Structure 1
Amino acid sequence: MRRAAVLGSPIAHSLSPVLHRAAYADLGLDHWSYDRFDVDEAALPGFIEGLDASWAGLSLTMPLKRAIIPLLDGVSDTAASVEAVNTVVLAEDGRRTGDNTDIPGMIAALRERGVEKVESAAILGAGATASSALAALAEICTGPVTAFVRSSARAGEMRAWGERLGVDVRIADWADAAEALHAPLVIATTPAGTTDALAAAVPDRPGTLFDVLYEPWPTVLATRWSAVGGPLVGGLDLLVHQAVLQVEQMTGCAAAPLAVMRAAGERALAGRPEY
């Protein structure tokens, strides 16, 4: 048997087992299993040390993306750029290597919707996901990125990430967040409900909205965006694309089944028995 799992706290809501198991079934990997474990920062070192040779990989969610780094033998440049690891590949010789598939997952999700390059962009929020969004924008945005934030501390963090990633980050107050909706690309990284009040301000001809939430979906903002014909990228798109990369890294398979994994995720979110 080969084992993999997603770790985090809380973790019961995670769709990762649904996506990875669907991939294993489609690829004929009958000897592979994928589970979820509620592990916090304090318990993480003990969990990692307890892994045996049957383990092939781990997915990490909050609050472990940074806490895992000191426990690894190596980290990819992508993960190092945002100091966040969401993927660990466990080699047969015991070496633990960390990567971040959120960043290329964001880029792939946007490209799937035809967004290859943008002249400018706006980010709603300034948390951990916003730093990954900045790293993705470093690859596809040729001009400034405006971050709409609530506090001066968050503003400082976003400026620092911009300098580190080579992105021209400009800071705006959350009170003016409606202005973000006129950008060619808007990435919403805030918790559920935070952007609901902005729906009334969606322009008649909006650019692309990338709302990283997948539950509840669609969000109020996404519903309005779609209603006026704006291109929309959702949290499930991100989740599936980053999971595809995880499956490929952990199993060594050349191409994980994107469509199969997305369909499994959609069934799960619809509340069907498969979940």
Structure 2
Amino acid sequence: MKSVKIVTDSTVDLSKEVLEEHGIEVVPLHFTIDGEAFIDRVTITPDEFMKKMKAAKELPKSSQPSVGEFLEVYDRLGEDGSEILSIHMSGELSGTVRSAQHAATMSKANVTVVDSQYISFALGFQVLEAAQLAKEGKSTAAIVSRLQDVRRHTRLYVVLDTLENLVKGGRVGRGKALVGSLLNIKPIAALADGMYTPIANVRSYSQAIKYLTNQLISDIADKTVRKVAIAHVDAFAFAERLKQSIIEAIGYQHVYIVQTTPVISIHTGAGAIGLMYYTD
């Protein structure tokens, strides 16, 4: 059986060490800040990005990798006859998966492209599962089938501290944002079927932590927790409080905390947090 190599994009929010350990290839997204171009996690780190975004005159703009960038990676990895499994952020949020699909049709390698329907560490859940199964010698078809199960049992919730970036990006009207600001409202949304759906509004981080913890308890009833992760945008203290709340509530100790990709930070603004987990 041919070996399977795993490719993903830079919104995966896995550390360089984890990616190297599992032999996962990353094709980075791009963005511009006040006309200056950057490559996600290659020419700028998430921390550096946050400093530049706060000082920027305009909201940074992100763009997916080009078809050519994917094609180069696929052809290079497939030179030894390996099959390629390319797993990416939700196609509802970015054109990344479509660039990958286009490149797959042009590549000399045998490439299968998967829309994870998620982003950040929730994308990472599928990527890590695929890498482990590939290491065990499983076929592409078997891995894709397992990823469907992981996807079905994954949950992702996002809490925003401010609507400012959504206003700048034209995703929320200024009037609605002003009302939200005056009332100190922090919206909570769920990512389902690749799209964000508003599910609640809270007035404080404490209320957000309580809401997310209760949601987790409800979601995992009679199930086994496989992984839990918290991604934040310049909000480590909030992330740490949520982690402690989860540990106290369900006794699960291995909660990852990561500073998320700039691609997410552009839309959420500082202070946002994402809770994601999957079960069996």
- Give the structure-2-normalised TM-score: 0.35
Higher relative contact order (CA 8 A, sep 6+): 2
- Give the structure-1-normalised TM-score: 0.36
